[in-house]
């Protein structure tokens, strides 16, 4: 059994010193949990194929757990080869019979309808997202669900304007898209994948991550209630094995995957030599860079937002902090101070800043890296947030005095863990920030526009935020360089993976 973080905290000795974070001078907020009365959840969920929920061929189900309470929420069907085959054939049939023949304007109307129904059911979706995935209700309510609706609105608008997106070319749909998504933004990732695929005239088989299937299944209900032609969107649940079968299915024409670099490489190998199109959005180890002329208070808030909100479960999390040496003391002092007021706890409470880690295995992975960091000689600092006794929680953690060669600096941890290094010159920080196998995102904080432009042109990162972090918009493309993957999602660029251009 791994030790709990509070057990570990009392043992942490770094460079001979013990660093207990001093007790938080936190304001006391009365609990303000979001009500769950209006939520309707089945005890058991089947597979969504041809606009119907059907039993899995094997009759096998697995549990989906609330990571904040460790309680089971529902049984989720496990799709095997027969189920995947049924889902893909249903998508193929819907593509040939209805979807590719439908006028683009009519396609757009269906997608608008999905967007509006997500808005109508936004409270329910937000609560279920937080229950199933562990993220704070503030995030699911204010970020995940509105952005998911916005993605459908945005791509609905493109459906009948594709010839303007690709002037002098003739965009044609590809066919059946197999889409596999991770657990960090379950509904939002489903929207990122489904909306552009449908707008371009493709049909879909989507597989959510095994720990967070519920909002995708709620989206299935919405799709059914929107009267989409049967088979245009199919949602099948299961773990990696189900995903692998989907990837290999001969009638699938395109794979869109978001997840770990390790699985991304397996998928790339699996479809090598076929004519399947592929986009991969993989891991990250993004740099957040603070210059001495930056607005420090805002930058500190940006650091917190970049790595601690959403438990660091963001592929573009600003997990490596680079601070210019002259403002290092001030930044660290303010960062530690701000960390004292972060509330870790019940994801459904509106006061909560940091919710539950998505699963037991992910919490174990984070603990594994905390041990490595200490062994590597970095100085650890954790906030004294009182963690709930039940559920998978992790205190926000800083690693000071880290170096480029440390594994905690090089490898993706996917938790609320921030490594910190200093720099003196612009050249030095660009070199250090780019010195990673990943290239998903970066942040730069400075008063000087010229520094921002210099950095954005030299950083090997798909997105560079200036004086902000983790800001998303459906009109803006997102994607990586190097081992963070290829292809873009969002914006005009997000249409390209779903069309053949003639
Ligand atoms: P994470 O490390 O974030 O859990 P994974 O890459 O393991 O990310 O999982 C992301 C998604 O990929 C999940 O839906 C998972 O079930 C699926 N998956 C895992 N292994 C495979 C595989 N070999 N082929 C296809 N999909 C897979």
Interval between CA 190 and ligand 1 midpoint (Å):
14
Question: In the prediction, which pLDDT does 483 show?
Answer: 87
**Bigger pLDDT: 28 vs 73:** 73
- Whether ligand 1 lies within 6 angstroms of the CB of 259 is answered as yes
Confidence grade of residue 7 (pLDDT, cut at 50, 70, 90): very low
Whether 108 lines ligand 1, by a CB cut-off of 6 Å, is no
Atom of ligand 1 nearest to the CA of 258: 10
Q: Which domains does the chain have, with CATH numbers?
A: 11-30+284-466 (3.40.309.10), 44-282+484-501 (3.40.605.10)
Ligand 1 centroid–CA 413 distance in Å is 16
Q: DSSP letters of 151-213? A: HHHHHHHHTT-HHHHSTTS-EEE-SEEEEE--SSSHHHHHHHHHHHHHHTT-EEEEE--TT--
pLDDT tens-digit readout, 72-120: 999 999 999 999 999 999 999 999 999 999 999 999 999 999 999 999 9
Report pLDDT for 386.
Answer: 84
pLDDT, average across residues 127-140: 97
The model's pLDDT over 192-214, given as tens digits with 9 standing for 90+, comes to 999 999 999 999 999 999 999 99
Band of residue 24 on the pLDDT scale cut at 50, 70, 90 = very low
Residue with CA closest to ligand 1 atom 18: 240
Q: Is residue 215 within 8 Å of 190, Cβ to Cβ?
A: yes
Q: Exactly one of 78, 139, 281, 489 is catalytic; which is it? A: 281
Find the mean pLDDT for residues 121-149.
97
* CA nearest ligand 1 atom 7, residue: 260
The CA-based diameter of the chain, rounded to the nearest angstrom, is 71
438 CA distance to ligand 1 middle (Å): 18
Report the separation in Å between the CA atom of 263 and the middle of ligand 1, taken as the mean of its atom positions: 6
- DSSP string covering 290-355: E-TTS-HHHHHHHHHHHHTGGGG--TT---EEEEEGGGHHHHHHHHHHHHHTPPB--TTBTT-SB-
CA angle 36, 115, 84 (to 5 degrees): 85
Is any ligand 1 atom within 6 A of the Cβ of residue 209? yes
Closest approach atom of ligand 1 to CA 414 = 3
**Ligand 1 pocket, residue 271 CB under 6 Å:** no
Name the average pLDDT for the chain: 93
Atom of ligand 1 nearest to the CA of 209: 14
% pLDDT > 90, the chain: 88
pLDDT in tens, 362-372: 999 999 999 99
- Ligand 1 neighbour 260 (Cβ under 6 A): yes
pLDDT score recorded for residue 26: 57
Tell me whether residue 315 is one of the annotated catalytic residues: yes
CA 345 to centroid of ligand 1, rounded, Å: 27
For 317-362, write each residue's pLDDT tens digit: 999 999 999 999 999 999 999 999 999 999 999 999 999 999 999 9
Q: In the predicted model, is pLDDT for residue 385 greater than 90?
A: no
Is the beta carbon of 418 within 6 A of some atom in ligand 1? Answer: no
Cβ 263 under 6 angstroms from ligand 1 = yes
**Does residue 264's CB lie within 6 angstroms of at least one atom of ligand 1?**
no
């Amino acid at each position: 059994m791994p030790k709990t973080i509070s057990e570990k905290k009392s043992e942490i000795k770094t460079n001979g010193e013990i660093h207990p974070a001093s007790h938080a001078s936190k304001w006391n907020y009365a609990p303000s949990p979001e009500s769950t009365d209006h939520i309707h959840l089945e005890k058991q969920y089947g597979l969504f194929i041809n606009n119907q929920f059907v039993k899995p061929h094997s009759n096998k189900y697995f549990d989906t757990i609330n990571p904040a309470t460790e309680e089971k929420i529902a049984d989720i069907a496990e799709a095997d080869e027969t189920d995947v085959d049924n889902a893909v054939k249903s998508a193929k049939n819907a593509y040939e019979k209805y979807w590719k023949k439908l006028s683009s304007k009519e396609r757009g109307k269906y997608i608008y309808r999905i967007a509006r129904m997500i808005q109508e059911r936004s409270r329910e979706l937000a609560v279920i997202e937080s229950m199933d995935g562990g993220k704070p209700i503030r995030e699911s309510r204010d970020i995940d669900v509105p952005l998911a609706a916005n993605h459908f609105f945005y791509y609905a608008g493109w459906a009948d304007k594709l010839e303007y997106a690709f002037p002098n070319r003739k965009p044609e749909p590809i066919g059946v898209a197999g889409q596999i998504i991770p657990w960090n933004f379950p509904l939002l990732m489903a929207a990122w994948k489904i909306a552009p695929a449908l707008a371009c005239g493709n049909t879909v088989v989507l597989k959510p991550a095994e720990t967070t299937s519920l909002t995708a299944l709620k989206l299935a209900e919405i799709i059914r209630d929107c009267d989409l032609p049967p088979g245009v969107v199919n949602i099948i649940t299961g773990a990696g094995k189900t995903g692998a079968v989907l990837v290999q299915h001969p009638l699938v024409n395109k794979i869109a995957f978001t997840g770990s670099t390790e699985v991304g490489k397996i998928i790339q190998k699996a479809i090598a030599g076929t004519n399947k199109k592929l986009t991969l959005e993989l891991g990250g180890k993004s740099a957040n860079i603070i210059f001495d002329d930056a607005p420090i208070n805002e930058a500190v808030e940006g650091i917190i937002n970049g790595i601690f909100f959403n438990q660091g479960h963001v592929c573009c999390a600003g997990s490596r902090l680079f601070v210019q040496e002259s403002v290092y003391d001030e930044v660290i002092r303010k960062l530690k101070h701000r960390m004292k007021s972060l509330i870790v706890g019940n994801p459904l409470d509106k006061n909560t800043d940091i919710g539950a880690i998505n699963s037991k295995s992910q919490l174990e992975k984070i603990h594994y890296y905390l041990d490595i960091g200490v062994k590597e000689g970095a100085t650890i600092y954790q906030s004294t947030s009182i963690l709930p006794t039940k559920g998978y929680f992790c205190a926000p953690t800083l690693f000071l005095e880290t170096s480029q060669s440390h594994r905690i600096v090089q490898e993706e941890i996917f938790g609320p863990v921030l490594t910190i290094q200093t720099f003196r010159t612009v050249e030095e920080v660009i070199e250090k920030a780019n010195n990673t196998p990943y290239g998903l995102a970066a942040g730069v904080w400075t008063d000087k526009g010229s520094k921002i432009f210099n950095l954005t042109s030299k950083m090997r990162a798909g997105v560079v935020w200036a004086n902000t972090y983790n800001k998303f918009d459906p009109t803006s493309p997102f994607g990586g360089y190097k081992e963070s993957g290829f292809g873009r999602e969002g914006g005009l660029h997000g249409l390209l993976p779903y069309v053949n251009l003639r």
